[in-house]
Amino acid sequence: MSGGIPLRKRLLVRLLIASVLIALCSVAATAWLAVETTTRALREEQGQDLADDMAILARLSGYAATHPDWKGVEPTVRALAARTGRRIALTTTDRSPIADSAPHGSPLPPSAAATIDPLHTDTYTQRGAQLGGLDPRAVGPFLLPAAERSGLDLLARKRQSCFRSHGLDTTIRRTPSGRPFLTDTDTDATGPAAATPIECADGRLNAPTPTERKALDALARQARTCLGREGLDPDIPLFGLFDPTDKSLGSRVIVAKYARSGELAASKKAQDCADSARRAQLDPYVAPVAELFLGGGDRTEPRFVMSSANKAKIVGAAGLVLAVTVAVTAVVATRLVRPLRALTEAARQPPELHVRVPVTTRDETGLLAVAFNALTERRERLEAQRKAMVSDIAHELRSPLTNIRGWLEVARDGLVDPDPALLASLHDEALVLQRIIDDLQDLAAADAGTLRLHREPLRARDLLDQVAAAHRVAAGTAGVALRTRADGEPWLDADPVRMRQALGNLVSNALRHTPADGTVSVAARLDGDEAVLEVTDTGCGIDPADLPHVFDRFWRAEKSRSRRTGGSGLGLAIVRHLAAAHGGTVTAVSEPGNGSVFSLRLPAAPPPPESRVTSPSGRGE
């Protein structure tokens, strides 16, 4: 059997390779941790800790974006140096010192770690990265005064209330200029809310304020020279987009005409003019370009030390571990592969043989053999049920179709007249077909997991009344007394239509099996955290040998009963699926000659706040 399996793919070989790799990794990891605990953890403290470097750069870039010069940056530099243990120095582009955490006269590192230029570098939008573009914190004349912020905050709260009335939870955030915007709460997004209801999209929150309009007008005036130089219309308007993510210049200010026209070349030239004008507009509000130098501070870098003796011990220990691992793995793998081979051989047999395998161990392999044998038994049983079900479906559909076809052929040949009685008979046969097809469709939806439930608070007393009213005529025709009783006020969180269907199937089944002058009782009660719906009849009962099969499809205790008197054989199967879909169960208890009790157990639900219990605890009909 194993001759056809390549050597590298055999389980024994794979286990040996895996054990060797695990042993090597464990030995290497143990040696590494042992040496590391004696020499301390390695830390990249001399220009290697990228997170600290980017935090320093982002903090100083933010200072440059919000201040017109570098005056007053010294305390910030010293605070960052104290927190990170790094030397931080700022110089102009010609190496003139601006601020330095090291003593005066200390030489600078050979090269700058980064250039701080908020008009061309963005360290704010994406943490840990230097993006090309404008730092969003450089807002300049677009910074909103307190009065305008208060007005926009009021509009933002109104829009948030509108969103909430449509079932959308949002959070108010702010752009660096102070403009509020709404973002989805559940996604913790930094951008605007993904979907805006039409009733909330009044445009007032996104409209430029007087301060922003003034800044945009000034920007348009600065861009005219460039637009004229490029041969474009200098009087075309600029359109301000207040994107809260502020990822690029082009996402905040565009030239409206060329953005609409689709002329790519002209649009790019116009956008370049707008960007250049924006940088020129913000230049007086940001600090000049500076060079950032980072040093290692006063800390010393720990070293990783491994002596020759330690290396020899590690190599010896690794060899011993590998030898023991290979030996143990070989023994274990041999014992493991033997029952697996038996399982493989049994699985290769023709499916109609339903071969079992011997269970020789009580470990996981033995459990696998038990599961394999159980699967074989289920497959054999399901195959028999499938054959029986196909035969039953064919039989159920053949009878009404044969009747319909026979009467239609007789009427076509003129042997009988299509009088109302004949048409009513054909209609009854069509209803039988429709009932069988509907039941099969419900079962197919339940098997596929597509059975939809529309849950709502449902009082058990109302459910009993509705089912009893629907079957009152059938009970009267059969001469059977139909009674209902509710102990207390059980409530359900269920689909009313599906629950009427489930309970109605149980009542219909009870009525069919209860002789005249008998009684069918439908009751509801609470049992702990469950609501119990019981249908009790005084019929002939069910034989104990047949009781486990009452919920099987197309099963009937009396094989001689016709479908017109015995149902389609699918009603109880549908009840079981509907109970499972509601998180409940259905059981049957019966004794021949003493009737049957079908119990539907479902999770109980608390009554809704608006409900008022005014009816008595029980009722008989």
Which of 65, 50, 520, 604 has the alpha carbon at shortest distance from 283? 65
Is domain 364-443 annotated with CATH 1.10.287.130? Answer: yes
The answer to whether residue 516 scores a pLDDT higher than 80 is yes
Q: Report how far residue 441's alpha carbon sits from residue 464's, in angstroms, rounded to the nearest whole number.
A: 26
Identify the pLDDT of residue 341.
78
Provide the residue count of the chain.
621
Mean pLDDT of the chain: 78
- Supply the DSSP string of 475-534, one letter for each residue: HHHHT-EEEEEESS--EEEE-HHHHHHHHHHHHHHHHHTS-TT-EEEEEEEEETTEEEEE
DSSP-assigned beta bridge partners for residue 539: none
The answer to whether residue 619 scores a pLDDT higher than 50 is no
**With 0-12 CB in 10 A as exposed, 13-18 as middle and 19+ as buried, what is 124?**
buried
What is the share, in percent, of the chain residues with pLDDT greater than 90? 13
Q: Of 28-32, 291-295, 321-325, which range is least confident?
A: 28-32
Helix (H) or strand (E) holding 585: strand 585-590
Give the pLDDT band of residue 177 (cuts 50, 70, 90).
confident
Query: Using N-to-C axis directions, what is the helix angle for 420-448 and 571-581, rounded to 10°?
Result: 40
Q: Report how far residue 84's alpha carbon sits from residue 375's, in angstroms, rounded to the nearest whole number.
A: 63
Backbone angles phi, psi at 115, to 5 degrees: -105, 130
Name which CATH class applies to 452-603.
Answer: alpha beta
- Strands 253-255 and 238-240 come out as antiparallel
- List pLDDT tens digits, range 69-125: 999 899 999 998 888 888 899 999 888 898 988 888 888 888 888 899 888 888 887
Higher-confidence position of 51 and 1: 51
Q: Report how far residue 64's alpha carbon sits from residue 110's, in angstroms, rounded to the nearest whole number.
A: 24
User: Does the pTM of the predicted model rise above 0.85?
Assistant: no
Q: Report how far residue 157's alpha carbon sits from residue 149's, in angstroms, rounded to the nearest whole number.
A: 12
Higher-confidence position of 254 and 152: 152
User: What are the structural domain ranges in the chain?
Assistant: 2-42+304-346, 50-138+287-295, 141-200, 210-285, 364-443, 452-603
Identify the pLDDT of residue 104.
84
